[in-house]
């Protein structure tokens, strides 16, 4: 999940972890405090390092982060969902090209979260929570929000060849992505989220 303008970088260079390569023009969309904390938070499993050494992917849509961006909650800069795109990959493809990876069963900085580096452990994620549209924790499921935010983390760099598509909010965003692709001389499938499987309803 990234700002649409960052595609000008991604479609040229692939996706670099924040600690590996910095771009002055890159637009951060999340909680600045959390972004800084990820530069120091140790990954407790091989291949090690800190969270900012990794390119992060969510496993699904409707993330709490996107809702905060949509509403401006917690002091995060308010943006239209149209400005945000989902850059996608397939686990089998990215792990063949990028053997240094790990993943979590919840928010990467939460003390309750477990880390894994073997794909056989994907079954340990709470896929029910990952796929929730409304993820507020309840008396019956008090851990929904943490589990919803499970991440797949690829160390250092994800090459452009590993990216399989881009999900956008609507036709206007799709046209903007098409323009960026023409400017960068690249091509990739663009999927419009008509059924709101990734974005929130307005």
Q: Report strand pairing: 151-155 vs 54-58.
A: antiparallel
Of 196, 195, 164, 192, which is closest to residue 177 (Cα–Cα)? 192
The answer to whether 176 touches 165, Cβ cutoff 8 Å, is no
38 classed as catalytic:
yes
Catalytic residue among 74, 151, 183, 196: 151
What does the alpha-carbon distance between residue 165 and residue 9 come to, in Å, rounded to a whole number?
15
Cα 157 to Cα 85: distance, rounded to the nearest angstrom: 19
50 to each of 4, 20, 30, 68, 141, how far by Cα in Å?
26, 11, 18, 24, 30
Q: Give the mean pLDDT per block of 10 residues along the chain (202 residues).
A: 98 97 94 93 98 98 95 90 98 97 97 98 97 91 96 98 98 98 96 97 88
pLDDT at residue number 117: 98
Residue tagged active-site, from 12, 25, 36, 38: 38
Active site (annotated) includes residue 74: no
Q: What is the pTM of this model?
A: 0.95
Q: Tell me, what's the pLDDT at 73?
A: 86
- What pLDDT sits at residue 162? 97
């Amino acid at each position: 999940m990234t700002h649409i303008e960052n595609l000008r970088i991604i479609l040229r260079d692939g996706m670099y972890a924040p600690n590996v390569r910095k771009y002055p023009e890159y637009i951060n969309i999340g909680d600045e405090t959390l972004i800084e904390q990820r530069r120091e938070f140790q990954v407790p499993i091989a291949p090690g390092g800190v969270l900012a050494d990794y390119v992060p992917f969510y496993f699904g849509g409707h993330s709490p982060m996107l809702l905060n961006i949509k509403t401006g909650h917690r002091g995060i800069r308010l943006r239209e969902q149209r400005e945000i795109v989902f850059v996608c990959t397939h686990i089998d493809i990215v792990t063949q090209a990028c053997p240094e990876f790990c993943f979590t069963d919840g928010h990467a900085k939460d003390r309750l979260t477990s880390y894994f580096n073997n794909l056989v452990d994907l079954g340990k994620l709470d896929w029910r929570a990952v796929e929730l549209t409304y993820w507020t924790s309840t008396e019956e499921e008090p851990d929904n929000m943490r589990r919803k935010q499970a991440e797949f983390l690829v160390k250092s760099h994800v090459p452009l060849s590993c990216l399989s598509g881009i999900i956008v909010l609507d036709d206007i965003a799709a046209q903007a992505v098409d323009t960026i692709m023409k400017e960068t001389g690249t091509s990739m499938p663009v999927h419009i989220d008509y059924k709101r499987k990734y974005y929130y309803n307005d």
